[in-house]
C-alpha cells in the first residue's frame, strides 16, 4: 500500500505559488517530494501544470528546504 502525507506548505508571494512538502511511503521505501505549480506558454495561452521533485532519506534536509525556498521565490513561468 502506498501512502502520501502532506507535511507542510512553503508560502510564496506569487499567486498559486505555494510549495507542498509530501512524504510518500510504502512498506519498503520512503521519499519526500516537493509539489509545485509551473506555468508555460502555449499557442492557446498560458497553461498550468503540477510538477514535483523527489528526495530520498539519505539527502540532507537542508537541500530540501533550500530547494523549497528557492522555488517559492521563483515566478511560476520561470520554474523548471
Question: pLDDT band at residue 62, thresholds of 50, 70 and 90?
Answer: confident
Number of helices followed by number of strands (H, E) in the chain: 1, 4
pLDDT at site 8: 92
Round to whole Å and give the CA distance between 21 and 59.
15
- pTM of the predicted model as reported, rounded to 2 decimal places: 0.81
Q: Is 61 left (phi over 0), alpha (psi -120 to 50) or beta?
A: alpha
Question: pLDDT band at residue 29, thresholds of 50, 70 and 90?
Answer: confident
C-alpha cell at 5: 502525507
Amino acid at each position: 500500500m502506498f501512502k502520501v502525507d502532506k507535511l507542510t506548505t512553503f508560502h510564496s508571494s506569487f499567486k498559486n505559488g505555494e510549495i507542498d512538502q509530501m512524504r510518500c511511503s510504502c512498506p519498503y521505501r520512503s521519499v519526500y517530494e516537493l509539489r509545485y505549480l509551473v506555468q508555460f506558454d502555449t499557442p492557446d495561452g498560458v497553461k498550468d501544470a503540477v510538477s514535483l521533485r523527489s528526495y530520498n532519506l539519505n539527502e540532507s534536509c537542508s537541500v530540501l528546504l533550500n530547494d523549497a525556498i528557492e522555488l517559492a521565490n521563483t515566478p511560476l513561468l520561470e520554474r523548471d
